[in-house]
Chains A and B, each alone.
Chain A
Amino acid sequence: MIYRENGQFKTSYKNDQQVFAVTQDRIGIWLLLAFAVIGVPLLADEYLFRAVLIPFLILALAALGLNILVGYCGQISLGTGAFMAVGAYAAYNFMVRIDSMPLLLAVLLGGACATVVGVLFGIPSLRIKGLYLAVATLAAQFFADWAFLRISWFTNNSSSGSVSVSNLNVFGISIDTPAEKYLLCLGFLVVFAVMAKNLVRSHVGREWMAIRDMDVAAAVIGIRPVYAKLTAFAVSSFIVGVAGALWGFVHLGSWEPAAFSIDRSFQLLFMIIIGGLGSIMGSFFGAAFIVVLPIFLNQALPALGALVGVTISTALVAHSELMIFGALIVVFLIVEPHGLARLWSIGKEKMRLWPFPH
């Protein structure tokens, strides 16, 4: 009754091609954005910013990048942590070695370096497919792990191998409170999400999806696999590199190569699988799920135990988190292999008809 499109006629091509074609959708997204920009900084406390919101924003950005590669172009990549590391360390080197380098430029240049590395490690995808490609991208992951640990030029010859950044400022405004960091990440995320959504609706996006669905047939009808696959790697690595730079600069402040290990790659892959492959919205849902779940379990498990009268030790909580996480992944994959985004679109379909059954 509320979500009906009756009476919404499009009278120009521009209107017909809108991302949010239904007025209720458009109002909803503007309200959400307004809440995110104005409401959340007023209502959230520092813990919520540091532990939930900022990681969610940055990891949603990285999941967006990975979704473009895996969900839209069909190339399985397990090396995302490496590309994040390249973005972070490159941005760090630009900041440290060039005086008065603006933060935004350093982050974007870090993304550009990640693009170069991503295209380099994407070249095997022209020859290798499927699971073999997944393991080949692990080569990128382990190589980056080693390179940032052993090659001291990358860490500006720091003795401990960890680097740190401080005093962030954008256009003269210094970014030190959690609310300001949150707004900076939100800005990056909104810009990149709009760019990504437009990219996947353009001819490049259609080429990616054609390669994903049937790459031989796509090549037969004239889509160049080299161009499509390498641009997918390039765009994806750029976004992931920017996310990595943000992760190091804004969320961590100081980091070492272990922050971008293979666990990070798996975490991002889980996000896009649970959120929904091939869906921009899905990256957000997946990131929210994976970021909130450990925190929720951490609070809920001892509370549940206290309810039953059993004190659960922290070790047991940690092990149970692993078990519940693993079990939830499997349950999710069985119940809805297309992810939360599919559940969302099913919900919207039902809302269109509500309160009628059909």
Chain B
Amino acid sequence: MGPFLETLIGGLMSGMLYSLVALGFVLIFKASGVFNFAQGAMVLFAALAMARFSEWFPELLGFDNKLLANLLAFGGAMLVMVAVAWLIERLVLSKLVNQEGITLLMATLGVTYFLDGLGQTIFGSEIYKIDIGLPKDPMFLMESTFQGGILVNKEDLYAAAIAAALVVGLSLFFQKTSTGRALRAVADDHQAAQSIGIPLSRVWVIVWSVAGFVALVAGMIWGSKLGVQFSLSVLALKALPVVILGGLTSVPGAIIGGLLIGMGEKLSEVYLGPMLGGGIEIWFGYVLVLFVLLIRPQGLFGEKIIDRV
């Protein structure tokens, strides 16, 4: 029972981390109808910016306090992501306004390649460290009930807490502020929102910036776990089944999808993996999503697809 719980908790927490990345997808799809394949590249770009800024700012400005360096790096990276969002909106989105989904998807793929190359050109292509003070030692829970206790990674626990706080913050932002209301209006119907005076391009810049903020947080956490390197941009491929399982238009769906996929991946790896030769993590999420989509074609919490004929 002990190992099962350990795997379960480990899976749930890695699922939270996937949902962090998935949140960015859902936010952008909800508000602008674009499936942003570049989310992974944005995570990498943001993490690179933060890692490098936390090295450069202390050198440039001549102070030694790590907390201050991290805060300034976070702020600097956030500014960079807002600039990226604005540029993407001006140069890509506004020119492709009424095109079909696959064209927009390909455009975001092009943006992915561009951001990959740009990030490595500006910030360098080695492995960088992000040290935000997350404790890396493991914790043993319930030592009295189970022999040896259940191993829980403290870093993952903090990451899950940060992710939960982010989701709560985003929900409050969407429900209580007027900007959030404007975002929800645009998500419902672009034309109606435009006709009552909501500035569409500004809303899109805000949405991509919020997605950039989510990417920055995700990049920070994953970067402090794995180190900031190119494989972060492949994270998007691991987060895709989460987005689809939860439904492309649902924020709680992204969280629940993440938990389910994380749990399923780890449990299948430990219990099914040995029978099938190991390494089934890479496709388990996708095959699970395939079967769920056969039963519910719009994902667990997505909007039903209504075809007008």
Contacts and interface: CB of A to CB of B under 8 A. Distances in A.
B309 A135 contact: no
A258 interface: no
Given A132-B293, A214-B309, A323 B125 contact: no
B121 A76 contact: no
Nearest to A142: B283
Nearest to B278: A150
B38 to A, nearest CB: 9
B297 A151 contact: no
B101 A143 contact: no
Contacts of A134: 105
Given A138-B240, A337-B99, A270 B109 contact: yes
A269 interface: yes
Interface stretch (B65-73, B88-96, B156-164, B167-175): B88-96
B294 interface: yes
B287 interface: yes
Given A143-B283, A319-B117, A337-B103, A124 B110 contact: no
A327 B106 CA distance: 11
Given A327-B114, A330-B110, A129 B283 contact: no
B107 to A, nearest CB: 5
A354 interface: no
14 contacts: A132-B244, A132-B248, A135-B289, A139-B283, A139-B289, A142-B286, A146-B282, A262-B237, A321-B117, A322-B120, A326-B111, A326-B114, A326-B115, A330-B91
B118 interface: yes
Interface string A132-170: 101110110011011001110000000000000000000
B62 interface: no
Interface in A109-138: 124, 127-132, 134-136, 138
Given A146-B282, A323-B114, A136 B293 contact: yes
A262 B110 CA distance: 15
Contacts of A129: 297, 305
A132 B111 CA distance: 21
A129 B279 CA distance: 29
Q: Which 5 A-B pairs have the closest CB atoms?
A: A329-B110, A326-B113, A322-B117, A326-B114, A323-B117
Contacts of A145: 282-283
B293 A320 contact: no
B96 A334 contact: yes
B196 interface: no
B307 A327 contact: no
A138 B37 CA distance: 14
A320 B307 contact: no
Given A330-B110, A337-B103, A127 B96 contact: no
Nearest to A273: B106
B60 interface: no
Given A321-B117, A322-B116, A127 B297 contact: yes
A317 to B, nearest CB: 11
Given A128-B294, A135-B240, A320 B309 contact: no
B61 interface: no
A36 interface: no
Nearest to B37: A266
A139 B305 contact: no
A303 interface: no
Interface of A: 70, 76, 124, 127-132, 134-136, 138-139, 142-143, 145-146, 149-151, 214-217, 220, 262, 266, 269-270, 273, 277, 315-316, 319-330, 333-334, 337
A124 B294 contact: yes
B212 interface: no
Nearest to B243: A135
A124 B282 contact: no
A262 B93 CA distance: 25
Contacts of A142: 282-283, 286
B35 interface: yes
B293 A128 contact: yes
Given A273-B106, A330-B114, 8 more contacts: A124-B294, A136-B290, A150-B276, A266-B109, A319-B117, A320-B121, A326-B116, A334-B92
Nearest to A121: B290
A130 B104 CA distance: 13
B15 interface: no
Contacts of B1: none
B101 A130 contact: yes
Contacts of A76: 102
Contacts of A151: 277
Nearest to B244: A135
A257 B19 CA distance: 29
Contacts of A217: 309
Given A329-B109, A337-B99, A323 B282 contact: no
A326 B305 contact: no
Interface in B259-289: 276-280, 282-283, 286-287, 289
B224 interface: no
Interface in B108-135: 109-118, 120-121, 125
B227 interface: no
B179 interface: no
Nearest to A333: B107
Interface string B294-309: 1001110000010101
A138 B234 CA distance: 14
B11 interface: no
B241 interface: yes
A151 B279 CA distance: 11
Contacts of B244: 131-132, 135-136
A104 B309 CA distance: 46
A134 B111 CA distance: 19
Nearest to B38: A326
Listed residue (A128, A320, A325) with the most chain B CB atoms within 10 angstroms of its CB: A128
Contacts of A325: 110, 113, 117
